[in-house]
Amino acid sequence: MSDEELNTSTGRPEQTPDPATIEGAVGREDRSQFAMGTAVPSEIGVDIEQTAEVNARTASLWSDAWRQLRRRPIFMISATLIIILIVMAIAPRLFTSIDPRACSLTDSLLAPSSEHWFGTDLQGCDYYSRTIHGTRVSIAIGLTVTFFATGIALVGGSVAGYYGGWTDTIIARLTDIMFVIPFILGGIVILSLFPTRGVPQVSLVLIILGWATMLRLVRSSVLSAKSHDYVDAARAMGATNRRIITKHILPNALAPVIVYATITVGVVISAEAALSFLGVGLQLPAISWGLMISNAQARILTAPYLLLFPGLFLSVTVFSFILMGDALRDALDPKLR
C-alpha cells in the first residue's frame, strides 16, 4: 500500500489541499459523491487510476466535514466553550485560587461582590469557586456515560444490524424494554437502591438507561450501510464478517452516531443534574451543579443568584454540546450540502 493510499483511508485533514483549487477542479456535487466512496476504495481494490484521481482531491467525508466546520462560527464557538469547560474540569485552580470547601459561617449568604464574584452560599462558601469546581463531575459523568453507552450501542447495534435474524430480534426486544422505561423514572428507581451514590454509581445507572436509543440508531445506520455494493465486493473478496463490520460498515455508519453521541453528552449532564436535584443523584459533600440548584430552591426569592450561577453554567455546558452536535450534523450529512 502506498503512502498516498494510506492518507485516503485515514483522511488526514492536514493533507487537504487548498479548497479553492478543488472548487475549480470539480463541482461541489461531484465532490460529495466521491466523498462517500473514498472511505473504502483502497481496500476493495478499485483500479489504481481512479484511486489516484481521488487522492488528488483528498475528499473523504471527514476531510470535507473538517474543511466545512472550520468555516462555521457555531462550531468554533461550541468547540471553544467545550475546551474551556474541559480545562475547567481538569484544572479548576486555573480559574480560582479559593478553596471551595473553605467556608466560614460568618460569611453566610453574601450577595455577589468584588470579593465573592458569585456571592456565598448558606454555609458561607465562595460560590464562584464552588461553581467552577462543579464542572468536574458534570463533564466526567457526561463523557464517561457517553463513551460506554456508545460502546455498547456500537457493538450491539452492528451485531444486530449485520447478522439480523434471531440475534436482531433478541437485541431489538431488549432495546424496546429499556425504551419504554421513562428515563427519570428509571433513574429514580435504580438510584434509590444505592445507599451511597458517587460518580461511579450515577454513571453506571445513566449508562444502563442511555444505550437503547443509540443502539437503535447504530442498527439502522448499519442496516442501510450493509446494502451497499462495496460490502458485497468485500465479501466476494473473502473478507471475514468481523473485518467487513469494523473496516467497511462501521466507518460509513459512524457519522450519525458521532452527531448523536455529542448531543448525548449534553443530555447526560442535564440528567445527572436533574437526578442530583431530586436527591437521588450525587450526595453531599460532592460539589455538583444539580445539588447546588437543589439547595438554592428554598431561597429563590431572597438569594436568586444561588440558583442563577450553577443554572447558567449547567445550561451553557449542555448548550455547547448540543450546538456542537448540530454543527457536526450539518457538516457530516452530505445531503445538506
Smallest gap from Cβ 302 to other proteins, in A, equals 11
| Under rule CB under 8 A, residue 167 binds other proteins | no
| Whole-number Å distance between alpha carbons of 61 and 140 | 30
Q: Between the CA atoms of 143, 144, 149 and 155, what dihedral angle is there, to the nearest 10 degrees?
A: 110
Q: How far is the CB of 313 from other proteins (least distance, A)?
A: 10
CB of 224 to other proteins, least distance (A): 13
CA proximity to 176, closest of 206, 211, 139: 211
For residue 46, give the nearest of 217, 175, 237 by alpha carbon: 237
Q: Quick one: which of 49, 106, 114, 173 contacts other proteins (CB under 8 A)? A: 173
Q: Which of 243, 279, 283, 299 binds other proteins (CB under 8 A)?
A: 279
C-alpha cell at 79: 468547540
The per-residue DSSP string of 168-227 comes to HHHHHHHHHHHHTS-HHHHHHHHHTT-SS--HHHHHHHHHHHHHHHHHHHHHHHHHHHHT
Site for other proteins in 289-318 (CB under 8 A): 293, 297, 300-301, 304, 307, 311, 314-316, 318
Minimum CB distance to other proteins smaller for 36 or for 278: 278
Closer residue to other proteins, CB minimum distance, 140 or 188 = 188
Residues from 9 through 28 that contact other proteins (CB under 8 A): none
Query: Does the footprint of other proteins cover residue 273 (CB under 8 A)?
Result: yes
CB closer to other proteins out of 38 and 320: 320
Say whether residue 180 binds other proteins (CB under 8 A). Answer: yes
- Tell me which of 34, 230, 277, 305 binds other proteins, using CB under 8 A: 277
**Minimum CB distance to other proteins smaller for 191 or for 257:** 191
Q: Residue 255, interface with other proteins (CB under 8 A)?
A: no
Distance (Å, whole) CA 80 – CA 320? 9
Among 26, 109, 110, 188, binds other proteins (CB under 8 A): 188
Label residues 23-47 b or e (16+ Cβ within 10 Å = b).
eeeeeeeebbebbbbbbbbbbbebe
* C-alpha–C-alpha distance, residues 265 and 270, integer Å: 9
Ordered alpha helix ranges (H), the chain: 3-10, 19-25, 28-37, 41-44, 48-57, 61-70, 73-90, 127-163, 165-179, 183-191, 199-226, 229-236, 241-243, 250-278, 289-296, 305-332
Q: Looking at residues 97 to 156 of the shown chain, list those that interact with other proteins (rule: CB under 8 A).
A: none
Q: How far is the CB of 178 from other proteins (least distance, A)?
A: 8
What are the beta bridge partners of residue 120? 126
Contact 82, 324 (CB under 8 A): yes
With CB under 8 A as the rule, give the number of residues binding other proteins.
39
| Residue whose CB is less far from other proteins, 42 or 203 | 203
**Which positions touch other proteins (CB under 8 A)?**
173-174, 176-177, 179-182, 184-185, 188-190, 192-193, 195, 266, 270, 273-274, 277-280, 293, 297, 300-301, 304, 307, 311, 314-316, 318-319, 322-323, 326
